[in-house]
Amino acid sequence: MFTLFGLFGGPARTADAKAVVTGAGSGIGRSFALELARRGGEVICADIDAARAAGTVELIGQLPTGKGHAVQCDVSDRGAIELLAKQAQEIFAGAPTLVINNAGVGIGGKPVGDIGFDDWDWALGINLWGVVYGCEVFTPILREAGRGGIINVASAAGFAAAPSMAAYNVSKAGVMSLSETLAAELNGTDIAVTVLCPTFVKTNVFTDGRITPASMNLSQQLARWTGLSADNVAARTLDAHDGGRLYVVPQLDATVIWHLKRHFPALYVRGAGLLGRLLPDN
């Protein structure tokens, strides 16, 4: 796992956490919730699908430690996030100690000009605005409490900028920039920020997203070859957060892309363009 030193240190923040996790009904979000419960935490499992959220809480109930609460929440709705914050403070009888803005969707397979504004709105509404709302609403609560942590789930797509993924790339690049800005603003406080930037993780993001058949097939193949399990990624991210890390780039392929992009930016863009021309048609 590649990590860059962050701005924060101090004791573990993920043990016995009072946590809010969005998109907790499946994938990485469910894995975050279960791992936090294993660490003795009490977790609000928020998801747009109430049944999936309840399923995560049921799994938490089978663990020897931890406690879960299911909450239905559409992260693209600012009012729903504001309500989630109120519910969290009521459930915890105070501020949460950890907020994980994880909810997201997959979209890809079309070049700019063919994507369509409905798909842009959908992707940015969930992937970017969902995180913006989470940070805007919960950061003042954590500031008032005097400590806590925020983990935002971005993607290596935020810096890889692969062709035919513009809406997804832009949404995740925004999450990265927001996280970096928030970390700078919170420097000197006892509130830590971590941004997760994986490539392929074995989740249902492909089947639940708006991805063309050819792109979905390629993504699923790459996930089988290079993807990590959601449980692995969640545990490593929580450990990195405890270690005060800002960036978490958990896979070798993402690490290579990270360094290529920064040391050879023009060459990287030409290479990405060539790769895009070699990809199968939609």
Active-site residue identified among 133, 168, 247, 268: 168
Query: Which of 237, 175, 181, 246 lies closest to 8 in space, CA to CA?
Result: 246
CA atoms within 13 A on the CB side of 94: 11
Q: Which residues contact 20 (CB under 8 A, 6 or more apart)?
A: 43, 44, 46, 84, 85, 88, 96, 98, 99, 100, 138
SS3 state at 2: strand
Please confirm, yes or no, whether 168 is among the known catalytic residues: yes
Would you tell me how many other CB atoms lie within 10 Å of the CB of residue 34? 26
Helix and strand numbers, DSSP H then E, in the chain: 12, 12
| Range list of β-strands (E), the chain | 2-5, 18-22, 42-47, 67-72, 98-101, 107-108, 148-153, 191-196, 201-202, 210-211, 228-229, 245-249
Q: Compute the distance between CA of residue 163 and CA of residue 114 in angstroms, rounded to an integer.
A: 12
Query: Which of 147, 158, 152 lies closest to 245 in space, CA to CA?
Result: 152
261 phi/psi in degrees, rounded to 5: -60, -40
Q: Are 79 and 117 in contact (CB under 8 A)?
A: no
Q: Are 153 and 168 in contact (CB under 8 A)?
A: no
Q: Which residues are catalytic?
A: 168
